[in-house]
């Protein structure tokens, strides 16, 4: 009977870990969609002083964080066009502990870069519009969803 009792004590820990991992992946998938895909591209009012300043105010609000990220990538293409590249992620990126892939197609991308020489309490961004391939983090090896952009090629 002791092994059954021990199993009953361990079982909730196993399920909690799996549940937390599942919630974390679902949050990462949702965040990718809301923070890294802007299609069709939104036009921010002039008061934001440019696309990236408006976008990064939204990103920081969504993440509920006052930290000013140094760089942020936004893709201006339908999510479905991006998702298909995570269908078969054969590479494992050890630095991120996730599967990753390089898209075969180039996408229109805005790179928001934190401006230098500004007040420490300010988050002012420069915008660069480019057309490049993406290094994507994927939620798993097969039939995965994109969960992050780790670079451009």
* pLDDT tens, residue by residue, 100-116: 999 999 999 999 999 98
Q: What integer pLDDT is reported at residue 25 of this predicted model?
A: 87
CB 52 within 8 A of CB 131: no
pLDDT tops 50 at residue 117: yes
Higher pLDDT, 94 or 47: 94
Q: Distance of CA 151 to CAs 39, 85, 133, Å? A: 19, 15, 9
- For the chain, the residue count is 153
Q: What is the pLDDT of residues 40-62, one digit of tens each?
A: 999 888 888 899 999 998 998 88
Residues above pLDDT 90, as percent of the chain: 63
């Amino acid at each position: 009977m002791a092994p059954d009792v021990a199993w009953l004590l361990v079982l909730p820990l196993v399920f909690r870990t799996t549940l937390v991992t599942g919630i974390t992946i679902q949050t990462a998938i949702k965040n990718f969609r809301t923070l890294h895909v802007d299609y069709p591209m939104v036009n921010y009012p002039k008061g934001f002083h440019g696309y990236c300043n408006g976008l990064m105010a939204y990103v920081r609000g969504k993440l509920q964080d006052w930290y000013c990220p140094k760089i942020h990538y936004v893709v201006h293409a339908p999510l479905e066009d991006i998702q298909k590249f995570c269908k078969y992620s054969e590479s494992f990126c050890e630095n991120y502990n996730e599967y990753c892939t390089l898209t075969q197609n180039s996408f229109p991308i805005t790179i928001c870069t934190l401006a230098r020489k500004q007040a420490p309490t300010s988050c002012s961004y420069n915008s660069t519009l480019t057309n490049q391939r993406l290094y994507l983090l994927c939620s798993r090896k097969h039939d995965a969803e994109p969960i992050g952009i780790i670079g451009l090629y």
